[in-house]
Structure 1
Amino acid sequence: MQNNVAAKIMEQLAAWGIKKVFGFIGDDVFYLFDALARQTDIKFYQVRHEETAAFMASAHAKLTGRLGVCLADGGPGTLHLLNGLADAYADRVPVLAITGQVARKDIGTNVKQYIDQQSLLRPIASYTTLLCDPAATMQVLEKAYRCAVTDRTVAHISVPMDVLPMPCDGNIIPVPPYLDTHPASSPGVIDGAVEIMEKAKRPIILVGDGGRQAGTLLAELSARWGAAVINTLPGTGTVDRSLPLYIGGLGHAGSPAAAKLLSEADVCLLVGANWWPPKYVPSDIKIIQMAVNPPDIGATTPVSYGLVGETEAVIQQVLNKIKTHPNQEWIKRMQQENQNWLKQLKTETNTQGSPVHPAAVIGAIQDEVADDAIVCLDTGDHTVWFGRAFRPTRQRVLISGKWRSMGFGLPAALAAQIDSPGQMVIALVGDGGFTMNMSDFLTAVKYSLPIKIMVMNNSSLSMEKNKMLAGGLVPEGTALLNPDFAKFSECCGGLGFKVEHSNELKGVIQEALNSNRPAIVDIKVSDLAVPGTTMP
């Protein structure tokens, strides 16, 4: 192995357990890619656009909790990373971006493709620096790694093209074992939360993705406390739909019953979630927030009490201490409200016709996907319909949460399939979001990643269209001219399917999911507005 800066970067990443990186080549990073080719510990996945690489790194971090790494050229290559890095930064997941830069003598000049990358990335990277001397290589790498992993954020290093081939004798830095150590609330603090919980008459639990590992314990707590369980979109599948008091999602992309019951509750236990939409939540409810990191407590909304620690351990301590008898009147109220909603939902998901009702698509996907499937959502009306209609078992959902970028679904599916080769992975996308980066369907074909893309095709940006119509505006700029997505898939080397009537849904989705090749299902859907759609 060569003993230069580029090689040391790869050697250090491998020592930290990095097994894969995503990126796109360019002049400034030739030596970095040469170093990639000369080692065997890290696999490189080439994409067709740098934004895809950044989204893949973010999705990898969301799915696994581990550091995602993306590589890009300087100038336009770095700029193309921004949207995916902003997604990681907004959703607080660890991502390291390494980019090339012009030669040191050209920094600050008018040379082509030069830009001050640190000024460019500072709003969306907690750490960004220019590595301008080989002697600082290991120290800079370690600082970036520590920042990304401990703060769960984006770190960035730009390396001038003339620095990468320079000799570097730095020593490899092992993973500090204490970086995964988290603070934990004392027994006395746990007692304070239990005291509030025991006084609750109408309790409810809101769980996010941070509560996923504690699903079984949450089910027990729900039964013993007499509390409904609702979830954020990323928290979908944390508890099974068979749970007696599972109500569904929260917000516009959720169950109307969830918002109604939450408005009547007197105590809410917020578990591994940081989403609290003011329009759908009460202002006078007592909130007990449970989080791994102390700064997350009260970061989204003021809370009455906080518990810090690993979710499973904290909930187990609560279960060991809590002594309460469920309020049977509240349980009956929750069950009745949920039954009313499920009756309405059944009507929506069973709607027949052409174009297909969006809820019918979600219902068919729910019926056919594996219990442990990974569902990658893009951003649009289809996202809201999914949150409203999908009743999970143990599925995992990946989403661009706070950044809410279109174009996330396909890259997330690519990363999820790489991370979970034995699991079913689907991307539920709108026609608008998918066409933003559909060239990277070729990446699925190139690496034989059998992802399934479900395109909800209504030839419009229906979320924007319906919001504008709700506000009495003319929806200019929302109509789309789309290709034949099934034929596009076939041109790329994948399988293509079409659905034009609801009676075709089950058979076509089954056929697509049972195949072992990348596939696109082009579903002609109605642009029907989700109930409750308003102008922002």
Structure 2
Amino acid sequence: MADTVADFVLDRLRQWGVEQVFAYPGDGINGLVAAFGRADDDPKFVQARHEEMAAFAAVGYAKFTGRVGVCMATSGPGAIHLLNGLYDAKLDHVPVVAIVGQTARSAMGGSYQQEVDLQALYKDVASEYLVEVNVPEQLPNALDRAFRTALTQRAPTALIIPADVQDLKYTPPQHEFKHVPSSPPDLPQATMVPPPDQLAAAAEVINAGEKVAVLAGQGARPAVEELLQFADLTGAGIAKALLGKDVLSDELSFVTGSIGLLGTRPSWELMQECDTLLIVGSSLPYSQFLPEFGQARAVQIDLDGRFLGLRYPTEVNLLGDSRSTLRALLPLLTRKNADGWRGKIEKNVEQWWDTVGKQAMVDADPVNPMRVVHELSPRVPENAIIAADSGSAANWYARNLRMRGEMRGSLSGTLATMGCAVPYAIGAKFAHPDRPVIALAGDGAMQMNGLAELMTIARYRSLWADQRLIVCVLHNGDLNQVTWELRAMGGAPKFEESQNLPEVSYADFARGIGLGGITVDRPDQVGPAWEQALASDGPTVLDVRCDPEVPPIPPHATFDQIKSTTQAVLRGDPNAWHMAKEGLKTKAQELLP
């Protein structure tokens, strides 16, 4: 039997299979920190450099395992710092449990040091389940419900435990009035399949179509074999939402790659020309990249009814898990003679990969950022995990990296927050210590928080059986994605005071804390640098000096976007001529044989 509430919390975490807690200490969780010491650091207290990074690491762990990621922080500022990472979990539907301290109960309401109204603060981010534990008997029910809710709702949940409660003697709930018991930690699995009449209606829509397209999101990950069978029966092409980029291999001839603003031209063409659309496990926000309303009859499969019909006027909505629902749907489908449609999709995909390969090899000053990911793609191990940051790095991850084998990848999909790649990668290493992990980050994200988390990597590297954790920094001295958004969306020239970054040698910093560091400033060094880093026996930082004027051109650049960018040039963009030249050279690869 646990002695204190804090001891019980750690014991219950162990029962839930938690092996590490991503955290930062503070006096609001002193009782819990002391319990880690009494428990011989089991589960392991993984000390991030900042609470926000602890939350991101928990998100990365959860994304790459499907299990609950756990983060912990002190009261007041510590709890506040967790919020951005927890919102990342909420918007990307990731199970995370946050445990936060609070001032002692006797001081509540007295404007005491670090007293913040955490119930109000966390009400939105942990809307699925938020509880303050004020007596020992609330545990274990509170902790168990936090885990079960996080897993079943795929959402962040939170427990607030005041500092004095952590040190109270633990007494379990009794069989009496106003005590709430709990059951041993477990989560039975269940399948959810729509009723036969709805499956039949969906089959009728799909069977009637001649040009079938699929949008697969992260919710389609359990249904890979079923998706392949569906594509075989219908001749469909499959586009992938960015959070579902790793669901299917990009070596499949009918997989068109990512969709959306960072997507591929074949995905755009697939959606522009289809007459039938199946959406599986995706809530892609950019409906303008889906077929014109009324163009396609649509069916959607999702485990969460709140997202059915959300992005496109679907004709049939199937509430169920993707694997079981597709398995029930497949026998109702008739095989199509869709050779012409499939042939066109495959030709578009082949031409696209040829085009982006040529674009990646276009000369730039000094290195074309597309080439960085292009050179990685054939070299990356088939069991690697890739985390991409928000910003221009996400463009090249989305378009130039070809998923294959058992590769996994993710980024901050809906929140699109900067600074997630390196802590995601740390979470991935704790999730899979025997697999190589790669983080793709811009220099803005590295300066925001990535440099600090390199110290976390140095501290915990010895725990990983495969110590290869490669952080690739796209070093261009510019907050590049926003610079291009200023040009393309507002017709404004680059404002150097807001966009330029101070100069830092990321490779030197890495070497200074005992990691490997490789500087790349010539195109011919990119491939060998990846080979050196992947052959190393420890973490490495690749510091690649990239040209900020290589444009992240959307798969279908609108007239207004081209007009706005042109206006930015005419209004005196400081790099106007170089920007125009690189844009023309890149776009030309789509037109030249």
Does TM, scored on the shorter chain, surpass 0.5? Answer: yes
TM class by smaller structure: over 0.9
Distance of 1:239 and 1:78 partners within structure 2:
37
Q: Tell me, yes or no, if the aligned pair for 1:185 and 1:308 is still in contact at 8 Å.
A: yes
Moved more, 167-176 or 137-146: 167-176
- What is aligned with 1:63? 64
Q: Tell me, yes or no, if the aligned pair for 1:209 and 1:272 is still in contact at 8 Å.
A: yes
- Shift of residue 305, structure 1, vs aligned partner: 1.4
Correspondence 1:76-115 to 2 at 5 A = 76-115=77-116
Q: CA 1:372/1:114 → structure 2, altered by over 3 Å: closer, same or farther? A: same
Q: State yes or no: 1:502 paired with 2:523.
A: yes
Q: State yes or no: 1:319 paired with 2:322.
A: no
Correspondence 1:369-380 to 2 at 5 A = 369-380=380-391
Moved more, 35-44 or 228-237: 35-44
Q: Tell me, yes or no, if the aligned pair for 2:299 and 2:317 is still in contact at 8 Å.
A: yes
State the SS of the aligned residue for 1:445.
helix
Q: CA 1:393/1:368 → structure 2, altered by over 3 Å: closer, same or farther? A: same
Q: Tell me, yes or no, if the aligned pair for 1:206 and 1:270 is still in contact at 8 Å.
A: yes
Distance of 2:39 and 2:30 partners within structure 1:
15
Q: Tell me, yes or no, if the aligned pair for 1:366 and 1:391 is still in contact at 8 Å.
A: yes
Q: CA 1:96/1:313 → structure 2, altered by over 3 Å: closer, same or farther? A: same
Q: State yes or no: 1:530 paired with 2:552.
A: yes
Amino acid at match of 2:204: E
Cα deviation 1:102-143 (Å, max 9, x = unaligned):
111211222221111111111211222322222223232233
Q: State yes or no: 1:473 paired with 2:492.
A: yes
- Shift of residue 276, structure 1, vs aligned partner: 4.3
- Residue from 378, 395, 399 that aligns with 1:388: 399
Unmatched segments (≥5 aa) in structure 2: 174-180, 566-593
- What is aligned with 1:433? 445
Correspondence 1:225-244 to 2 at 5 A = 225-244=234-253
Q: CA 1:265/1:175 → structure 2, altered by over 3 Å: closer, same or farther? A: farther
Distance of 1:176 and 1:203 partners within structure 2:
43
State the SS of the aligned residue for 1:30.
helix
Cα deviation 1:411-443 (Å, max 9, x = unaligned):
100000111111111001111112211211111
- What is aligned with 2:481? 463
- Shift of residue 504, structure 1, vs aligned partner: 0.6
Q: Tell me, yes or no, if the aligned pair for 2:480 and 2:499 is still in contact at 8 Å.
A: yes
Correspondence 1:39-438 to 2 at 5 A = 39=39, 41-126=42-127, 127-170=129-172, 173-175=182-184, 179-282=188-291, 283-284=293-294, 285-394=296-405, 395-437=407-449, 438=451
Distance of 1:158 and 1:177 partners within structure 2:
22
Q: Tell me, yes or no, if the aligned pair for 1:382 and 1:430 is still in contact at 8 Å.
A: yes
Q: CA 1:177/1:195 → structure 2, altered by over 3 Å: closer, same or farther? A: farther
State the SS of the aligned residue for 2:57.
helix
Q: Tell me, yes or no, if the aligned pair for 1:354 and 1:500 is still in contact at 8 Å.
A: no
- What is aligned with 2:508? 487
Q: State yes or no: 1:37 paired with 2:37.
A: yes
Unmatched segments (≥5 aa) in structure 1: none
Distance of 2:460 and 2:542 partners within structure 1:
20
Distance of 2:75 and 2:503 partners within structure 1:
33
Q: CA 1:504/1:393 → structure 2, altered by over 3 Å: closer, same or farther? A: same
- Shift of residue 2, structure 1, vs aligned partner: 5.2
Q: Tell me, yes or no, if the aligned pair for 2:2 and 2:170 is still in contact at 8 Å.
A: no
- What is aligned with 2:540? 519
Amino acid at match of 2:357: K
Moved more, 10-19 or 69-78: 10-19
Amino acid at match of 2:212: P
Cα deviation 1:280-334 (Å, max 9, x = unaligned):
2222222211223333322444422122333223223333331122322222322
Q: Tell me, yes or no, if the aligned pair for 1:365 and 1:509 is still in contact at 8 Å.
A: yes
Cα deviation 1:428-475 (Å, max 9, x = unaligned):
111111221121111111111531101111111001111112322243
Amino acid at match of 2:340: E
- Shift of residue 175, structure 1, vs aligned partner: 4.4
Q: Tell me, yes or no, if the aligned pair for 1:458 and 1:524 is still in contact at 8 Å.
A: yes
Q: Tell me, yes or no, if the aligned pair for 1:253 and 1:386 is still in contact at 8 Å.
A: no
Amino acid at match of 2:332: K
Distance of 1:69 and 1:191 partners within structure 2:
42
State the SS of the aligned residue for 2:123.
helix
Cα deviation 1:177-228 (Å, max 9, x = unaligned):
5653242213333222122111111101111122223223322321221111
Amino acid at match of 1:375: I
Cα deviation 1:121-168 (Å, max 9, x = unaligned):
112112223222222232322332333222221111111111111111
Moved more, 94-103 or 409-418: 94-103
Query: What is the number of residues matched between the two proteins?
Result: 536
State the SS of the aligned residue for 2:541.
strand
Moved more, 67-76 or 56-65: 56-65
Q: Tell me, yes or no, if the aligned pair for 1:150 and 1:180 is still in contact at 8 Å.
A: no
Amino acid at match of 1:31: G
Distance of 1:149 and 1:223 partners within structure 2:
33
Q: CA 1:347/1:16 → structure 2, altered by over 3 Å: closer, same or farther? A: same
Distance of 1:120 and 1:297 partners within structure 2:
29
Q: Tell me, yes or no, if the aligned pair for 2:198 and 2:316 is still in contact at 8 Å.
A: no
State the SS of the aligned residue for 2:64.
helix
Distance of 1:198 and 1:153 partners within structure 2:
36
Distance of 2:313 and 2:424 partners within structure 1:
32
Q: CA 1:300/1:4 → structure 2, altered by over 3 Å: closer, same or farther? A: farther
Q: CA 1:385/1:164 → structure 2, altered by over 3 Å: closer, same or farther? A: same
Q: Tell me, yes or no, if the aligned pair for 1:85 and 1:124 is still in contact at 8 Å.
A: yes
Distance of 1:526 and 1:433 partners within structure 2:
17
Distance of 2:277 and 2:38 partners within structure 1:
54
Amino acid at match of 1:307: L
Q: Tell me, yes or no, if the aligned pair for 1:97 and 1:156 is still in contact at 8 Å.
A: yes
Distance of 1:337 and 1:31 partners within structure 2:
60
Distance of 1:99 and 1:256 partners within structure 2:
45
Question: Could you tell me the TM-score, scaled by structure 1's length?
Answer: 0.95
State the SS of the aligned residue for 2:144.
helix
Q: CA 1:5/1:177 → structure 2, altered by over 3 Å: closer, same or farther? A: closer
Distance of 2:82 and 2:387 partners within structure 1:
20
- What is aligned with 1:4? 4
Q: Tell me, yes or no, if the aligned pair for 1:409 and 1:434 is still in contact at 8 Å.
A: no
Distance of 1:178 and 1:456 partners within structure 2:
42
- Shift of residue 355, structure 1, vs aligned partner: 1.7
State the SS of the aligned residue for 2:263.
coil
Distance of 1:160 and 1:47 partners within structure 2:
22
Amino acid at match of 1:336: K
State the SS of the aligned residue for 2:314.
coil
Amino acid at match of 1:440: E
